[in-house]
A and B are shown apart, each in its own frame.
Chain A
Amino acid sequence: MGNESGGGRKSDLILEEISKRKEKEQVVDVEEEKVKVVIFSLRGDWYAFYGERVKEILPLVTIYPVPGAADYIPGVINNRGEIESVININRFLGLADPAPAATGRIALAEAEGVRSGILVDSIEEVLDIPVSAVKPPLDTIAKGVKELVAGQFHYADRQVTLLDLGRIFSRLAA
């Protein structure tokens, strides 16, 4: 079998084909719309917020209780002179309270003109995912929670529930 054909050497043809394929893949990559997400854990399950909603990740600082506040609001924090509310999202979602741990963080988030800190057990990852990876929430999610879910996606062999902060804050501020 010859090593050359009418168009040139076989190896050159193959390399040219590989090059074209890579270019095509790059074009696909550029065109694929991506969205930033912040993945965090609550009681061993993974959840996420859209990254554009999360302004800061804060360590677990002192939370000052506010008398008369709802059960899911443990209080306020002093964030460089700004007083921010803190939400125990576990209680809001009907989950068991977060276990006190050194990995605990407060995600300071903003949506619908409302800003608040949200207690999470740990921050797992901040990354870009294709928009197409976000699928509608499964029917197995409890109805009350499902209304607060923007979608679900897979990451690191785990199911991640993407929470809709706009809906959560709207419900909180109502």
Chain B
Amino acid sequence: MNSNRGEGGCPSEIRVFTFTIMGVRIGIDADQVAAVMDVEAAAGRGLPIRRFEELLPIGHGPVAYAAPKVLLVRGTEGTSLLVIDHPDDLAVVSVKAIQPLPPVIAGGCPPLLWGAVAGPDGVLLLVDLLRV
């Protein structure tokens, strides 16, 4: 669990597992990820497996994965497997750097997309898998 906590129990920073799908940079709270594995290793686990775009639509056409990996996700209904692309980094993000999505966007987006971080590498979109 994120150890650095500020007032009211809100953490001062979070660790996010970052990856890129079709040019979109996504960050998932590392506390929701139990493991990262190859597709072959995940196939033998007997757990429900979903592709990331089933949770969050990416573009309008088929989503191509260049370097797929599978996340073992801790959810409210147990563990599941989530196929992602291009795992990038495990980054520490200050809560002060997190911005809510602009109101024009927030209303129409899936609820699991909850915030964004602006950085030198572009914009990182934060996903909370427990808000699915």
Which of A20-28, A65-73, A122-130, A135-143 sits within the interface?
A65-73
| A73 lies within 8 A of B104 (CB) | yes
| A73 lies within 8 A of B103 (CB) | no
How would residues 141 to 174 of chain A score, 1 for a CB under 8 Å from any chain B CB and 0 otherwise?
Answer: 0000000000000000000000000000100111
| B103 lies within 8 A of A114 (CB) | yes
* Residues of chain B lying within 8 A (CB to CB) of residue A64: 24-25, 122-123, 125
B6 in the interface (beta carbon within 8 A): no
CA distance A169 to B102 in the complex (A): 12
Q: Give the contacting residue for B105; candidates A76, A78, A81, A174; CB below 8 A.
A: A76
CB proximity of A64 to chain B, nearest CB, Å: 4
A11 in the interface (beta carbon within 8 A): no
Q: Give the contacting residue for B113; candidates A68, A115, A169, A172; CB below 8 A.
A: A68
B109 in the interface (beta carbon within 8 A): yes
* Residues of chain B lying within 8 A (CB to CB) of residue A116: 102, 104
Which of A46-54, A83-91, A96-104 sits within the interface?
A83-91
CB proximity of B59 to chain A, nearest CB, Å: 7
| B109 lies within 8 A of A69 (CB) | yes
Q: Give the contacting residue for B125; candidates A66, A73, A169, A173; CB below 8 A.
A: A66
* Residues of chain A lying within 8 A (CB to CB) of residue B75: none
CA distance A28 to B23 in the complex (A): 58
Interface positions, chain B 97-122, Cβ under 8 Å from A, are: 99, 101-105, 107-110, 113, 116, 118-119, 122
CB proximity of A82 to chain B, nearest CB, Å: 7
Q: Give the contacting residue for B104; candidates A77, A81, A169; CB below 8 A.
A: A169
| B104 lies within 8 A of A83 (CB) | no
B132 in the interface (beta carbon within 8 A): no
| B59 lies within 8 A of A65 (CB) | yes
CA distance A67 to B59 in the complex (A): 7
* Residues of chain B lying within 8 A (CB to CB) of residue A132: none
CA distance A70 to B108 in the complex (A): 7
* Residues of chain A lying within 8 A (CB to CB) of residue B59: 65, 67
| B57 lies within 8 A of A67 (CB) | yes
* Residues of chain B lying within 8 A (CB to CB) of residue A5: none
| B118 lies within 8 A of A82 (CB) | yes
Given contacts A65-B23, A65-B59, A115-B102, contact A83 B107 (CB under 8 A): no
CB proximity of A136 to chain B, nearest CB, Å: 28
CB proximity of B108 to chain A, nearest CB, Å: 5
| A172 lies within 8 A of B116 (CB) | no
Cross-chain pairs A/B with CB under 8 angstroms, 6 sampled: A64-B24, A65-B59, A66-B125, A67-B110, A68-B56, A85-B103
A-side residues, CB < 8 A to B, are: 62, 64-70, 73, 76-78, 81-85, 87, 113-116, 169, 172-174
- Closest 6 A/B residue pairs (Cβ): A85-B102, A64-B123, A78-B118, A85-B104, A68-B109, A67-B56
